[in-house]
């Protein structure tokens, strides 16, 4: 939020003092954001689908995705070390490729998480129906219950950061313990040997067609629902204590641990299922029960499958809340930079916990409408439609970093980082582009036949067209009303200083314990909100 100030920019447009959100996340809290979004427990559900498409060796899709995303995370760590800013993907792109491209990156990122929230809410609704033994819920029933799930998430997200952190910890513990327990139980009922894990759909040995055929579908599905959210600690960098160090670590280690557990769960499913051809037999009736009904029920029984469904409800709801946080923070930063309509309202914070409640509500309402608009194969379509803009948004700052290095404009980091960053940027760019093409490809297995297979691309086109219209609005009259011109973020230095602020310059109270901070450009000092209000 901004405070009142009479300072003006050279173009004559009045601006306000720079403000950042409350410092509410430690290194562990930021790590929990990433881990909760990835939710390794989902590997048991995803494992059933990838085996149905790519055979028992489908679990290797998670290995491929993990290796590629890990390179991207290391590159993002270098960017976060230089610019620990809220709404990181858009902020980095703004510095590297200009304000207009930065706006598009932020818009793609915002839309991706709104879409993904809709997919997560839809899956949670299916699990409630599964527990109620309602095998074939109507589209309206699914949409209404999805909207209720999103409403609850919005309310909890608006109350306090401490509550959100405890919800994240609950999701992390549930995901880790549930993954290890259920995966180990599945392995104890193994019906196959280790070498069966490298067989294709027909049960024969692997060949190159495996890499260009069904395995590509498995990679797309894995990317849509596994190992997402590693970058979330960067989205709240201004709310993390010591962000230059903590944000980078909060991305990498949860990705390594979460990825390893996810792969373990998928291997467990491959060893335990009675027949790969039965895994997706009930997809047309219930996209959730298809995996649970053929894997958990057949191996561990109905009671175990229902207990697993309860754990998945908790884990998925936690991921949904975290994704809403990411989307709301991106919308809030765009509003802070005056790049969206009604920015004066969207940038407002609640009086108590200082949360962007208006942005949270807008994001929640946007996600709630999706199940009503796309009732057929909602989860699949929303999963693909959300993954493509996310991958493109992540690709933009990587391209910007590659260009900056070629121009000799990037001289940050240690000598060791300088050696690996060049190849890492190239690998990250190719990986993100390839994954985006794979997910966007009209896979009939994922999105249904005919024109329906093109719906993720159609949705992407709509997002880009809307983003271009938003860009035209934001930069009308040369964009004199926005905070950023060209490659220059007017508040970059002050925002980074705020992210590192330890004490208020007036009362000398530690701000890292939870106070929102305000940068006073006239005195060039940091002030807590109570002291600023008193003045």
pLDDT tens digits for 194-232? Answer: 877 887 655 566 555 555 678 888 899 899 888 888 998
pLDDT at 137: 76
Are both 8 and 82 inside the same structural domain?
no
Tell me the per-residue pLDDT of 360-392, one tens digit each, with 9 for 90 and over: 999 999 999 887 876 655 667 888 889 999 999
Residue 431 has pLDDT above 90, yes or no: yes
pTM: 0.85
Are both 11 and 127 inside the same structural domain?
no
Are both 124 and 11 inside the same structural domain?
no
Higher pLDDT, 476 or 86: 476
Q: Which is nearest to 21 in space by CA: 238, 235, 324?
A: 238
Indicate whether 274 belongs to any domain: yes
Domain range enclosing 505: 1-23+501-535
Mean pLDDT, the chain, whole residue set:
80
pLDDT tier at 4, thresholds 50, 70, 90: very low
Indicate whether 423 belongs to any domain: no
Indicate whether 443 belongs to any domain: no
Task: Return the sign of the alpha-carbon dihedral for residues 150, 155, 161, 162.
Answer: negative
Are both 13 and 162 inside the same structural domain?
no
The secondary structure of 458-517 as a DSSP string is HHHHHHHHHHHHHHHHHTGGGGTTSSEETTEETTHHHHHHHHT--B-TTT--BGGGT--E
Are both 362 and 234 inside the same structural domain?
yes
Q: Of 316, 340, 374, which residue sits at a domain end?
A: 374
Q: Which is nearest to 475 in space by CA: 382, 288, 340?
A: 340
Average pLDDT over residues 51-70: 88
Q: Which is nearest to 238 in space by CA: 498, 484, 34, 525?
A: 498
Are both 154 and 168 inside the same structural domain?
yes
Residue 99 has pLDDT above 80, yes or no: yes
Q: Which is nearest to 38 in space by CA: 171, 236, 235, 184?
A: 171
Give the integer Cα–Cα distance in Å for 313 and 452: 28
Indicate whether 509 belongs to any domain: yes
Average pLDDT over residues 302-325: 91
Indicate whether 401 belongs to any domain: no
Residue 493 has pLDDT above 60, yes or no: no
> What per-residue string of b and e applies to 126-149 under the rule 16 or more CB within 10 Å gives b?
bbbbbeeeeeebeeeebbbbbbeb
Q: Which is nearest to 176 in space by CA: 323, 316, 36?
A: 36
Quote the number of domains for the chain.
Answer: 2
Tell me the per-residue pLDDT of 116-129, one tens digit each, with 9 for 90 and over: 999 899 888 888 88
Tell me the per-residue pLDDT of 229-250, one tens digit each, with 9 for 90 and over: 899 888 877 777 777 788 888 8
Give the integer Cα–Cα distance in Å for 51 and 215: 9
253, with CB counted inside 10 A (0-12, 13-18, 19+), is middle
pLDDT tier at 286, thresholds 50, 70, 90: very low
Tell me the per-residue pLDDT of 125-153, one tens digit each, with 9 for 90 and over: 888 888 888 767 777 888 899 999 999 99
Four-CA torsion 473, 85, 226, 439, nearest 10 degrees: 30
pLDDT at 114: 94
pLDDT tier at 465, thresholds 50, 70, 90: very high
Are both 208 and 85 inside the same structural domain?
yes
Look up the CATH number of the domain holding residue 170: 1.20.1740.10
Residue 522 has pLDDT above 80, yes or no: no
Indicate whether 518 belongs to any domain: yes
Q: Which residues, 6+ apart, have CB-to-CB distance to 521 below 8 Å?
A: 5, 7, 17, 18, 494
pLDDT at 104: 95
Are both 17 and 138 inside the same structural domain?
no
Q: Tokens standing for 122? A: 């839809």
Are both 309 and 366 inside the same structural domain?
yes
Are both 17 and 79 inside the same structural domain?
no
Q: Of 374, 397, 417, which residue sits at a domain end?
A: 374
pLDDT at 285: 43
Percentage of the chain with pLDDT > 70? 76
Residue 14 has pLDDT above 90, yes or no: no
Average pLDDT over residues 469-479: 86
Tell me the per-residue pLDDT of 433-458, one tens digit each, with 9 for 90 and over: 999 999 999 888 788 778 878 988 99
Are both 12 and 67 inside the same structural domain?
no
Q: Of 329, 347, 374, which residue sits at a domain end?
A: 374
pLDDT at 68: 95
Are both 267 and 291 inside the same structural domain?
yes
Answer whether 53's CB lies under 8 Å from 445's CB: yes
Higher pLDDT, 192 or 518: 192
Residue 276 has pLDDT above 70, yes or no: no
Indicate whether 410 belongs to any domain: no
Give the integer Cα–Cα distance in Å for 513 and 509: 9
Q: Which is nearest to 432 in space by CA: 112, 63, 69?
A: 69
Indicate whether 45 belongs to any domain: yes
Answer whether 181's CB lies under 8 Å from 173's CB: no
Q: Is 387 helix (H, G, I), strand (E, B) or coil?
A: helix
């Amino acid at each position: 939020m901004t405070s009142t100030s009479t300072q003006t920019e050279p173009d004559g447009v009045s601006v306000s003092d720079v403000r950042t959100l409350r410092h509410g996340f430690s290194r562990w809290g930021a790590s929990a954001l990433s881990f909760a979004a990835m939710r390794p427990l989902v590997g048991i559900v995803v494992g059933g689908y990838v085996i149905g498409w790519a055979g028992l060796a489908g679990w290797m899709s998670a290995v491929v995705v993990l290796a590629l995303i890990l390179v991207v995370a290391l590159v993002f760590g270098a960017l976060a070390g230089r610019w620990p800013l809220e709404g990181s993907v858009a902020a980095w792109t703004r510095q590297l490729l200009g304000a207009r491209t930065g706006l598009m990156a932020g818009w793609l990122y915002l839309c991706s998480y709104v879409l993904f929230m809709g997919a997560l809410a839809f899956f949670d609704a299916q699990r409630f129906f599964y527990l109620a033994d309602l095998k074939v819920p109507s589209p309206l029933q699914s949409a209404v219950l999805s909207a209720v799930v999103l409403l609850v998430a919005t309310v909890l997200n608006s109350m306090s950061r401490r509550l959100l952190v405890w919800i994240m910890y609950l999701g992390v513990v549930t995901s880790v313990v549930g993954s290890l327990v259920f995966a180990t139980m599945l392995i104890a009922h193994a019906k196959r040997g280790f070498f069966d894990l490298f067989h294709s759909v027909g049960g024969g040995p692997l060949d190159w067609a495996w890499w260009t055929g069904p395995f590509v579908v498995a990679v797309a599905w894995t990317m849509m629902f596994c190992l997402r959210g590693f970058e979330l600690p960067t989205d709240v960098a201004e709310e993390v204590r010591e962000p230059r160090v903590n944000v980078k670590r909060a991305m990498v280690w949860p990705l390594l641990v979460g990825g390893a557990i996810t792969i373990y769960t998928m291997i467990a499913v491959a060893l335990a299922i009675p027949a790969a051809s039965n895994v997706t037999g009930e997809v047309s009736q219930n996209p959730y029960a298809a995996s649970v009904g053929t894997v958990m029920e057949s191996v561990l029984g109905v009671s175990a499958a229902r207990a697993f469904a309860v754990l998945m409800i908790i884990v998925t709801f936690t991921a949904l809340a975290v994704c809403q946080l990411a989307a709301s923070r991106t919308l809030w930063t765009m509003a802070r930079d005056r790049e969206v309509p009604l920015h004066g309202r969207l940038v407002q914070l609640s009086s108590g916990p200082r949360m962007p409640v208006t942005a949270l509500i807008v994001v929640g309402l946007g996600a709630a409408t999706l199940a009503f608009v796309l009732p057929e194969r909602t989860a699949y379509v929303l999963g693909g439609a959300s993954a493509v803009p996310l991958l493109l948004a992540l690709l933009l700052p990587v391209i910007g970093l590659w260009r900056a290095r070629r121009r000799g404009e990037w001289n940050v980091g240690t000598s060791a980082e300088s050696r690996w960053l060049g190849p890492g940027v190239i690998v990250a760019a190719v990986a993100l582009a390839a994954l985006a093409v794979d997910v966007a490809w009209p896979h009939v297995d994922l999105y249904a036949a005919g024109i329906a297979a093109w719906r993720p691309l159609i949705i992407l086109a709509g997002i880009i067209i809307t983003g271009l219209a938003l860009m035209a609005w934001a930069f009308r009259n040369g964009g004199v009303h926005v905070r950023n011109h060209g490659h220059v973020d007017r508040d970059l230095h002050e925002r980074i200083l705020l992210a590192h602020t330890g004490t208020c310059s007036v009362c000398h109270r530690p701000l890292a314990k939870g106070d929102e901070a305000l940068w006073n450009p006239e005195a060039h000092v940091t002030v807590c909100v109570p002291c600023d209000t008193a003045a």
